[in-house]
Amino acid sequence: MGEETIPSAAAAERVAAAYLLSADAPVLSVNGNVAALVPDEVVTLAETVDATLEVNLFNRTPERVSSIIKHLEAHGATNVLGADPTAHIPGLEHDRGKVAADGIATADVVVVPLEDGDRANALAEAGKTEIVIDLNPLSRSAQAAAVPIIDNIMRAIPAITAAAHDLLSTSNEMCSYLIEDFDPEQARHDAERRIRNGVSSWRLVVSERALVGQCRW
């Protein structure tokens, strides 16, 4: 189907790793689709960059949250947050606004893969540095992101982890340089141009949305 990580996405994945390694309190937000598609990979990324995992759902029930936490634990996760959210993201009235006080509420950098636009905008307005993984550079989530990664999540998460391992062996100045040199608007523009010029990229969008649609968490 011609799926591949384009150069601008690869660069964004490296910048995402730099942000996570430089963060004081990084959090990886996990919904049902993320837990279904990349459970091992998201646990490994959290361990690599010393980030917290927090489950956050649009259609939230205690049973669904518990199911995802147990699923992540079965893949090696420990201390997964989300079962007892006592804080709230300003501007979000539905359950998606509920967050852990010692997780997303106090995070400085948040990875929000496969995210809805309302929550992405609210997190950005709350002062969080957002790393968004989305196949649509024109989505509200990607538009709100400090680091929009326009790529398939099953490639993006391992790529961020690999970049983090590489950056761990470099100086802090390298992370700072990557962050300061990154242009999110250019990343979105490059991805849109690639989509408009290639039919295979549109098939990529349809294929992953169809796969995500099979998840029932």
Q: Write the pLDDT tens digit of every residue in 104-126.
A: 999 999 999 987 788 899 999 99
Q: How many structural domains are present in the chain? A: 1
More confident residue, 38 or 95: 38
Q: Is 1 inside any structural domain?
A: no
CATH number at residue 110: 3.40.50.12640
**In this structure, are residues 142 and 132 in contact, taking their beta carbons and an 8 Å threshold?**
yes
Q: Write the pLDDT tens digit of every residue in 201-213.
A: 445 454 444 444 4
- Domain assignment of residue 29, given as a range: 7-212
- pTM of structure: 0.89
Q: Is 74 inside any structural domain?
A: yes
Q: Is 125 inside any structural domain?
A: yes
Residue 57 CB-density burial (10 A; 0-12 exposed, 13-18 middle, 19+ buried): middle
Q: Is 64 inside any structural domain?
A: yes
